[in-house]
Structure formats: C-alpha cells, structure tokens
Amino acid sequence: MSEEYTNFIHEFIDEDLEKGHVNKIHTRFPPEPNGYLHIGSAKAIWINSSTAKKYGGLFNLRYDDTNPAREDNEYVESIEEDLRWLGAEPTGGIFYGSDYFDKCYEYAVKLIKDGKAYVCDLTQDEMREYRGTLTEPGKNSPYRDRSVEENLELFEKMKNGEFPEGSKTLRAKIDMASPNMNMRDPAIYRIVYVEHHRQGKKWCIYPLYDYAHPIQDALEGITHSLCSIEFENHRPLYNWVVDNIGFEAKPRQIEFARINITHTVLSKRYLRELVEKGKVDGWDDPRMPTLSGLRRRGYTPEAIMEFVKRAGVAKTDSVVDIGLLEYCVRNELNKKALRKMAVLDPVKVKITNYPEGKTEYFDIPNNPEDENAGTRKVAFSGEVYIERDDFALVPPPKFHRLKPDGEVRLMGAYIIKCNEVKTDAEGNVTEILCTADLETANGNPVDGRKIKGTVHWVSAAHAVDAKVNLYEHLFLKENVGDLEEGENYLDYLNPDSLKTYENCKLEESLGEAQKGDKFQFVRLGYFCRDSKADDMVFNRAVTLKDTWSKQNK
C-alpha cells in the first residue's frame, strides 16, 4: 500500500494525532485459534498491518485464546504461518490472551470491590429471559445486590473449582435498562472445566472476549483497535471496561465492514462443518477460502493483498465478486509464471515421416510477458501427445484444430497433417497418424498456405506423468449468505467443484518442479505443484479466461 493511500480509519487516526491523543500508532490482529484463517482474515490483517506501517507504528499478533473448548496448537501454528506468508510481520511482537489471565482476574476483583461486578446464579436460559428485548428493558438478577464480601468469596470459590460448570457467572453491574443489549449486565467470567492448550489446568474460570479484549489492548499499548462491524454495538462495553478498570491510555475502537465473496462462505462455523463432515479434504483443501487452501491452490500473497485492497475499506457490508479475486491472481501470475506445456487428457500422435529414434529441441519462450525470462529447450520426437479435445473425427463448424485431412501447428514446432485415425471397439480414438511438414520447424510453410490452428503438445518419449486437479466454485449459489427460510448452505455445494485427471503428460522440465512452484500451462490456465503430495500433482489456481475485467471496464 502506498504512503498516500487513505480511508476513513486513517482520517480518525489523523484526527487523534493532530489532537495529541496519541503519538505512536500501535495496532493488532487478534484471531481465535479455533480454526484456520480465511481470506476475510486477510482483510483484517491488511488493514491493521498496513495502517501501522503507514504511520511508522507497531503491529501485534495476539491469539485470543480465552475459550479453550475448541482451541488447539495446530491452529496457533497455522495462523502465524499464514500471517508471515502474507508478509504481515508482527513488528510489535506475538502475544497470547492467556498471558493476561492473572491480570484479568486481578481486575475482576477490583470491579467487585468497586461494586461494579457480582456473582450471579442464573442459568443461561434465565439470564436470557431476564435480559429483556430490543423494545423492553431487562430486569435485575435476584443476585445483583450481593455484598462485596459475598461476591469476593464466591468468585474465589469459582476460581478454586468449588462449583459445577455453568452454575455461576461473574457479571458486570451496568444497566439492565440500557437500550444497548450488550450493556445489560454482561457476563465477564464463566466456569469451564477444560484444559487450556497453554495454561493447562491452572484455570477453571475464563474471561469472556468482551471483557478480556479491551484489557489486552490496553496492556499492550494498542492505540487503535480496528475490528469488524459486528463489534460496533460492543464498543460501549469495550470503553466501559477500559474506563472502570482505570487505564490511563485508552485504546480507540474503530469498526470496518467485513468482506463477503460470491460462491463461498467465510463463517468459521460453516468452514469447520465442511471439514468435519468430509465435504472437503481438510482446512487446506484448495477449494476452501482459507489462506492455507488458497496457498496450496497456487494463489500468491501479493494477489490476495491486492484483492482486499481493491475490495476497499467501508462501514457497510457488501458482497464482492469472486471474479475480482481471480483477476488479481491471474494478473499476478501472468507477470511471473513460466510457461510450460501439459496435456491433461492425452491422445497419441505418431508422425510417420519423422526419423525413428530422433530427438531434437526447440527454443520456446518462457514468458512472453517478460523479455528477461528467456527461452527453454523442449524435446521433440516422432510421437507426441495432444489434448483429446484438440482432435475431432467429425469437427463442428469453425473447428481450427486437428481433424481428418486437416493441418495444425504443433506450438513452436512443426505443422502436421492428419492422415489416418485408429479407434478401439467403442469408437474412441487411440492413435492419430500424421505427417509433418519438416520444412516448417517453428516457421511458415514455404508455399504460403495459412494454418489457422495451433495446439500444444508433449513428446511421448520425454513426458512426465502427473495428476492434475481442476477446481470450480465450491458453491453454485452466488450469495450463499442469502438463504430463504428452511434452506441450508450445504444444499448449494457444487458437485463438480473438483475434477481430476489421472493420466496427464507434462513437459520434461516440469519433472524438476518443486512443491509450491507455479506455472502457466499454455492454453489451460495457471497451476501450482501441490504442497502436500509427494507424487507429481498439480492444482489449477485459475483459468486463463478473464470475464471479470471485461464486465467491469
């Protein structure tokens, strides 16, 4: 992001700097380690990290590990890996919400002593009933007026594990008639008998996010808590916690709209369900919108950051066309990816007039978009593979590929003519016999005839065997979040979101491709060698065809 880039968040920060409220900007990204990060997380990372960078400030990674039931070190490790892959270095450090459990407890005791918190015996259902509605005020808990001494004793017993899970909560004493439901004596501590992934069995009471988060921000010196729009109604509680604990430096919470993308879901609950129900092959399935899935598919961090930047920073939620994301990926890979030839559905072509056993090499450009990319030598022999779709026994109108008695150019090599076709008992083409115009080695026919079709190919004697995965949108419905009553998002899963070709033939040089390497397979799209498979497996990142930019000119 350029130094000149600005948005409404920066305008608030400029105001705070001008008024002297702050002099050094400090932001943070606080993910809960209960799943893998997705592209929506990338927006929050970009906003927080780029804002800190613009103002010469600091950026923290802080794990919000205050709910041990679903948290795991697997998620902790994946989050840091994703953050660094995006290039968002946590210049202010890496922290854990659980690092502050002692301070959270200490501040809770302070609130009790100040008469601003009390232990409540209401069940969750009873608390919900007492809470009231958007149009009706809540009513006070019958335990709201317990003495400070009784509350301190009960809270200590909660900490010591003397009560059953869920039997008591510590609640902030604010205002049960507040028009903001979040201010109606919210719970700030609950009893949970689950071992914590870092703290072990030290605690059986855990602070809730709305209480712990402002404390963590204040203790780390965060100046601006930049978060998604669903926390806007929580801001008064955020400020109440900071004010009533008595922090001198008060972080400012600013909310921005979340990102939603067509043909996908970004709810962590839905993503977890897809994994747990086996609808996808794990969190890093290349069809998933997780950063690990997109990385495995072949997306680049630069393209993802460009996408979230183009999607913009606003206060109102919107749905962004997934075509914009694909455009950013395509645009990035077009500049960098080396071109290679690969045949996904091969049929053999035998060139009958080519000397048997001969091999020659043609110089083919590595990337026409980059003059410094040079050329590579590609082996050619008397038997090659072409795509089955590049041949038709009965060609449709305007078919400019290979057909009986027709000519076509093998890309970067000879012009060939189909003379004979061999088929099996079912009529499937098994071999195409051709002759080559041996005077057209990457050149035009001497008689001046025009050859309209060019197809890619791979030398049979030098081919590398591989498996190739082609991906489509995970969901058929454009806006998966807009469901009618009774509909389930799983109803719209695309049954054709993955198509696998098992018997692909690749250009010889691809045998040296390393996991994660990206290429353009000419005429087919952009591909990445799978990062998990030990065998030769390539995943298509995105097709060559770009409809988004044409529709949005």
Of 405, 432, 456, which marks where a domain is finished?
Answer: 456
Q: Which residues contact 204 (CB under 8 A, 6 or more apart)?
A: 158, 159, 161, 191, 192, 193
Give the DSSP letter string of 88-143.
Answer: ---TTEEEEGGGGHHHHHHHHHHHHHTT-EEEE---HHHHHHHH--SSS-----TT
Average pLDDT over residues 292-316: 96
CATH number for the domain that contains residue 287: 2.40.240.10
Residue 461 resides in a domain: no
Question: What is the rounded average pLDDT of the residues 240-257?
Answer: 96
DSSP string, 240-300: HHHHHHT-SS--EEEEEPPEEETT----HHHHHHHHHTTSSSSTT-TTSSBHHHHHHHT--
Average pLDDT over the chain, rounded to an integer: 95
The first and second tokens of residue 173, run together, are 């004493």
Span 506-546, pLDDT tens digits = 999 999 999 999 999 999 999 999 999 999 999 999 999 87
Q: Which of 60-74, 450-464, 536-550 has the weakest average pLDDT?
A: 536-550
Q: What is the pLDDT of residue 448?
A: 82
Is residue 107 assigned to a domain? Answer: yes
Catalytic status, residue 268: yes
Other beta carbons less than 10 A from residue 60's beta carbon: 23
Quote the percentage of the chain above a pLDDT of 90.
Answer: 92
Same domain, 278 and 245: no
**Strand (E) positions, 123-246?**
169-172, 187-191, 205-207, 224-228
The answer to whether position 496 is within a domain reads yes
Annotated catalytic residue: which of 268, 287, 339, 518?
268
241 and 165 housed in the same domain? yes
Give residue 369's pLDDT band: very low, low, confident or very high (50, 70, 90).
confident
The answer to whether 472 and 496 have CB atoms below 8 angstroms apart is yes
Residues 6+ apart with CB under 8 A from 5: 50, 54, 309
CA nearest 320: which of 1, 7, 40, 50?
Answer: 40
Per-residue pLDDT at 444: 84
Please report whether residue 537 resides in a domain.
yes
Rg for the chain (alpha carbons), in Å? 31
Is residue 32 annotated as a catalytic residue, yes or no? Answer: yes
SS3 content of the chain, % helix, strand, coil (to 5): 30, 25, 45
Q: Which residue has the tokens 């994301």?
A: 325
If asked whether residues 43 and 150 sit together in one domain, one would say: yes
- Tell me: do 431 and 509 sit in the same domain: no
Assign 57 to helix, strand or coil.
coil
What span, in angstroms and rounded, lies between the C-alpha atoms of 279 and 498? Answer: 11
**CATH code at 67?**
3.40.50.620
**DSSP 3-state assignment of 505?**
strand
- State the pLDDT at residue 374: 93
Same domain, 62 and 207: yes
Q: Tell me, what's the pLDDT at 457? A: 98
* CB burial of residue 279 (10 Å; 0-12, 13-18, 19+): middle
Structurally, how many domains does the chain consist of? 3
Query: CA dist 105 to 116, 156, 200, 242, 477, Å?
Result: 14, 10, 17, 15, 47
Considering the domain architecture, whether residues 476 and 533 belong to the same structural domain is answered as: yes
The tokens describing 357, both together, are 């056993």
* Mean pLDDT calculated for residue range 443-450: 84
Give domain status of residue 275, yes or no. yes
482 with 547, same domain: the answer is yes
Q: Give me the pLDDT at residue 445, please.
A: 87
Residue 72's Cβ-side half-sphere holds a number of Cα atoms within 13 Å equal to 7
Residue 370 lies in a domain: yes
Are residues 333 and 362 both part of a single domain? no
Residue 1 is predicted with a pLDDT of: 38
Boundary of a domain, candidates 429, 456, 483? 456
The last residue of one of the domains, among 430, 456, 482, is 456
Q: Is the pLDDT of residue 218 over 60?
A: yes
What pLDDT does 370 receive?
Answer: 87
pLDDT tens track for 32-42: 999 999 999 99
Element holding 380 (H helix, E strand)? strand 375-380
pLDDT band at 70 (very low <50, low <70, confident <90, very high): confident
**Residues written for the chain:** 553
220 a catalytic residue:
no
**Stretch (H or E) spanning 154:** helix 148-159
Quick: pLDDT tens for 118-174: 999 999 999 999 999 999 999 999 999 999 999 999 999 999 999 999 999 999 999
Residues 165 and 54 both lie in one domain: yes
Catalytic-role residue among 258, 336, 388, 401: 258
* Residue environment code for 486-499, b if the CB has 16+ CB neighbours within 10 A, otherwise e: eeebeebbeeebbe
pLDDT level of residue 2 (50, 70, 90 thresholds): very low
* 473 and 445, same domain (yes or no): no
Residue type, 380: F
In this prediction, residues 196-215 reach a mean pLDDT of 96
| pLDDT score for 548 | 64
Indicate if 533 and 430 belong to the same structural domain. Answer: no
Tell whether the torsion through CA atoms of 443, 447, 451 and 457 is positive or negative.
negative
Residue pair 374/366 in contact by the 8 Å Cβ criterion? yes
Q: Is the pLDDT of residue 443 over 50?
A: yes
Which range of residues forms the domain containing residue 29? Answer: 8-256
CB 553 within 8 A of CB 538: no
Per residue in 414-428, pLDDT tens? 999 999 999 999 999
Is the separation of the CB atoms in 429 and 423 below 8 Å? yes
- Conformation bin of residue 330: beta by default, left when phi > 0, alpha when psi is -120 to 50: alpha
- 2 within domain boundaries: no
In a domain, 1, yes or no: no
> Which long-range CB contacts under 8 A does 445-448 form with residues at least 24 apart?
445/415
Residues 352 and 500 in one domain: no
Residue 463 DSSP code: P
> Per residue in 372-385, pLDDT tens?
999 999 999 999 99
What's the whole-number mean pLDDT along residues 456-484?
96
